[in-house]
Chains A and B, each alone.
Chain A
Amino acid sequence: MGLTHYEKAIGDLTSAMLTLTALAMLIVGFWLLTRNWKEPPAIRSLILCFAVGLAMEVLLVGRGIELNHYVTAFQDEATWALKMKREMFLDRRGDTSEQLALLSGHANALFGSALMILLAFGLHLYGFFRKKAGWITGTLPGLLLLYASSQIISVNWDKMMASGDDDFLNSLIHTVFFSIGTVTLQISLGLMIAFALYRKLKGFAFFRFLVFLPYVTPVVAMATVFSLIFGARESSLSNQFLAMLGAEPLRWIADNTPITEYLFGWELSGLFAGPSLGMVTAILFGVWSYTGYNAVILLAGLTAIPGDLYEAADMEGASAWQSFRHITMPLLSPVIFFLVITGLIGTFQAFTHIYFMLSSTVNKSLHVGSIEIWRQISLGKFGYSSALAVILFVLIILLTVAQFSLFSRHQHFGD
C-alpha cells in the first residue's frame, strides 16, 4: 500500500486514528456543554454520543489491552516483544524500565478515559429514559467527554511525535496558534472598529478608506516591510520604539522563546507554552492586514440591524449591555460565523506572508503547515509533500464541518 508517506508523517497510524476520533469527541463534548439543558436529552444527541463513543470504546480498549499485553510480554522477555522495541518505545535509547512504566501508564490512561466515556454515555442514557433534565445529564457528560478526549489526545500525540515527523507535527501546532490568534484578534478588533464607524460620523469615508487599505495592498511588499520593522537588529523600528520606552531590545521575528516566558516568566514547552514571540509577530501582520476587511463586513452587518429594535429595548428599560447581548450579538452572529469560517480556512492555508517574514531569518517556531510543505517541495520530495498537504486539507475540512455542526444551529438569521 502507498501509505508509507503518511506513516512517515504522522507516525503510528492507529494513534493518529485515535487522535482524530478523540478530536471528534472533543467537538461532541463542546456541543454537549454549549447546549441548554432545560430539556432531557433528545434521541439525536443520544445517537451522536453513541456512535462516537462506541467507536472510541473499541479503539481505546483494544489499544490499552495491546499495550498491557506488550508490557507483560516484554517482562517475560518474549522474542517478538524484544524485536518490536523499536516501534513501541517512545524513546528507544531511554531507560528500559522507565519506558515500560510509561507504556503501562498510557494503557491505564486509555482505560480510564474509556471508563469515563462509558459513564458519560450512561448518564445521558439515564436522562433520556427517566426524562431528567439538568447538569447531571447534560453538562457533566460533556465535561467527562472533554477530559477523556484531551487525555487520549495527549497520550497518542506523544506516540505520534515519537514515531512521526516532528517538524510536521510541530508545524500543525504552530498553525493552530497562528490561526486561532489571528482570527480571534481580527474579529474582536474589527468589531471595535465597526462600532467606532457605526452611525454618522464626520470623516467616515476617509477612515473607512484607511481601515480597508491594508487588505488590498500586496502581501509580498508589506510582509517585507514588516520583517524590516520587526527585524532582529537593534536598529529595527520596533526596537527603537522599545528603546524610547526604556526597554531592552527584543529579537522579534527571529525569537523562538514562548510568549508565556516573556509575560509570566513560566518556562513551559510544547502546546501549553503558547506561540513564540516570532509567531506573535506573524500574527500581528495577519491582524494588521485582515482587521480592516473584517471591520467593513461587520459594519455592513451592523447597519443591517433595524434601529427600532433598539428603541423597543429602550422602552422596556434594557441596559446597554443587555441590548448588546440580546439584540446586536444574535443578529450579527451569521456575519461573525461567516468571518470565522473563512478566516480559519484562510489562516490554515496561510503561506506567502510568513514565507516573506522568514526570508531574513531562520526560526523554526514560525514554520506553519504550508511552510513545512513548501520545504519538502523545495527539497524535491513531491510525493511526501503531497501527503502532508492532504493531511492539512483533511484537517481544514474537519474544522469546517465541525463548525457548521457546532454553531450553525446557534445562529439567528433574523427575518
Chain B
Amino acid sequence: MFLNYRNQENVLNRYFILMLVAVLSLAPFIYMVLVSFMSLGEATNIRILLPSELRFENYAKAWQQARFSNYFFNSVLVTLSTLIGQLVICSLAGYAFAVIRFRGHQIVFMLVLITLMVPESVLISPLYQIILGRIVPIGFLNAFSIMILCSSFLILIYVMICLLNNWLQQNLNPGIISIGIGILLAGVLVISSLNSAETKEFLTEEFADRNWLNTFTVMVVPFLGNAYSIFLFRQFFMQMPGELWQAARIDGASHFQYFTRVVVPLNLPAFAIIGLLSFIWSWNSFMWPRLTQIDQTGHFTLPVGIDAFTRAQGVELHLLMAAATITVLPVLALYMGSLKLFMNSASRIGIKS
C-alpha cells in the first residue's frame, strides 16, 4: 500500500510519481516558451514541436507593436499601488481584530469573513453604480480615496523610518519626518503639474469630476480592503504574546506606537508573505479591469491586453505566447526569489485555520 509511511522506503515508487508530476506541471510552460519562438507558420503547422531558430524578434514585436510594453507598465503601476495600500490598510485592520477588544469585534470580524464567500460578480453592479457616481457624489469619492491613499503612504513612510531606527540604532522622529516627506512630495506634484501638461492631464484624468471609468484609480481603490489579507494578518498578530502589549502599555505606548514599533518589526515575514499573495491576486485580476476600461486601450493591464489580443482578428499564436511569457516572467522571478516564504505561508494557511 502506497499510502503508508512504512512503504516510504520504496523510493522508486515515490520518484516515479514525482517525476510524472514534475513533467506535467512543467509541460505547459515549455510548450509556451517553444511556441513563442516559432514563426506563425510553424505555430499553426502540424507536427512541428521545436522552433527552427530562436526568434527573439517575436518578443520585440509583442512588446512594441502589440503594445504589451504599455500593458506591462500599467500592470506594474496598478499592482504596486494595490500592494502598498493593501498592506497598510489590511495590517491595521488585522491588528484591530487581533489586539483591540472593542465591543462587537467578533460580529464585525464575522462580517469581514463572510465577504470571502461573495463572488466577484455579485459586487459588480453595486460597484458600477458607485463609480458612476450614482450613490455618492464622485467628488466625495475622489476626496475619500485621495485621503486614504495619502494616509496609507504616510503610514508607510512612518513605518519605514521606525524600521530604519531599529536597524541603524538611530532615534529619528518618524512623525515629523513622514509629514515632511509628504509635504515635499505634494509640493513636487503641484509644481510639476503646473509646469508639465502631461502630469496635469494624468491627474485630471484620474480625479476629474465625472466618473471613474477608464482610470487607474478604479482598478486600485475597490481592492484595498481584502478580507483574506485581513484574516491572515489577524492570524499572525494573534500569535504574539499578550504580555508584549501590556508591557508597552505600561510604558505609555499608544496602539499606533505599539503597532509601528513592535508589531511590524516582529512580523516582517507576515508582511512579505501577504505582500506576495496580494501581488499575485492583483496581477491576475481580470474581471473588474476589463469592465471598467471600456473605450480606450491606454489603461489596459496585461490580462485585459491578452484578452483583447485574443479577440482581435486573426490571432498570431506566436505573439500571443510571447505575451503570455511576458506575463508569467515577473511572477516566476518573485516566486523563485521567495520560495521559502511561499512554502511557509502555504502550510501556515492550512494549519492555522
Contact = CB atoms under 8 A, between A and B. Distances in A.
B101 to A, nearest CB: 26
Contacts of A352: 284, 286-287, 303
A294 B28 CA distance: 20
Contacts of B343: 208, 212, 296
B310 A359 contact: yes
Most B Cβ at <10 Å: residue of A234, A296, A392? A296
A229 B310 contact: no
Contact of B22 (A211, A226, A297): A211
A348 B122 CA distance: 13
Nearest to B7: A320
A359 B307 contact: yes
A224 B320 contact: yes
A224 B117 contact: no
B20 to A, nearest CB: 10
A225 B324 contact: yes
A121 to B, nearest CB: 32
Most A Cβ at <10 Å: residue of B21, B24, B348, B353? B21
Interface in A91-136: none
B3 interface: yes
A211 B47 CA distance: 29
Contact of A225 (B24, B28, B331): B28
Contacts, number: 220
A400 interface: yes
A219 to B, nearest CB: 5
A30 interface: no
Interface stretch (A7-15, A64-72, A381-389): A381-389
Interface in A202-236: 205, 207-214, 216-222, 224-226, 228-229, 233-235
Given A304-B351, A352-B284, A386 B125 contact: yes
Given A235-B44, A351-B121, A218 B328 contact: yes
Contacts of A324: 1, 3-4
A328 interface: yes
B351 A296 contact: no
Interface string B101-121: 000000000000000111111
Given A218-B303, A300-B350, A288 B117 contact: no
Interface residues of B, number: 73
Interface of B: 1-8, 11, 13-14, 17-18, 21-22, 24-26, 28-29, 31-32, 35, 44-47, 49, 116-122, 124-126, 128, 280, 283-284, 286-287, 291, 302-303, 306-307, 310-311, 315, 317, 320-321, 323-325, 327-328, 331-332, 335, 339, 342-343, 346-351, 353
17 contacts: A196-B18, A197-B14, A207-B18, A213-B335, A224-B310, A228-B320, A237-B31, A300-B348, A300-B350, A304-B351, A320-B6, A335-B350, A359-B311, A373-B121, A377-B291, A386-B122, A393-B119
Interface of A: 191-193, 195-199, 201, 205, 207-214, 216-222, 224-226, 228-229, 233-235, 237, 240, 288, 292-293, 296-301, 304, 307, 310, 314, 320-321, 323-324, 328, 335, 338-339, 345, 348-349, 351-352, 355-356, 359-360, 370, 373-374, 377, 382-383, 385-386, 389-390, 392-393, 396-397, 400
User: What 8 A-B pairs come out closest when comparing CB atoms?
Assistant: A300-B347, A297-B350, A221-B324, A320-B4, A389-B122, A235-B46, A220-B303, A349-B119
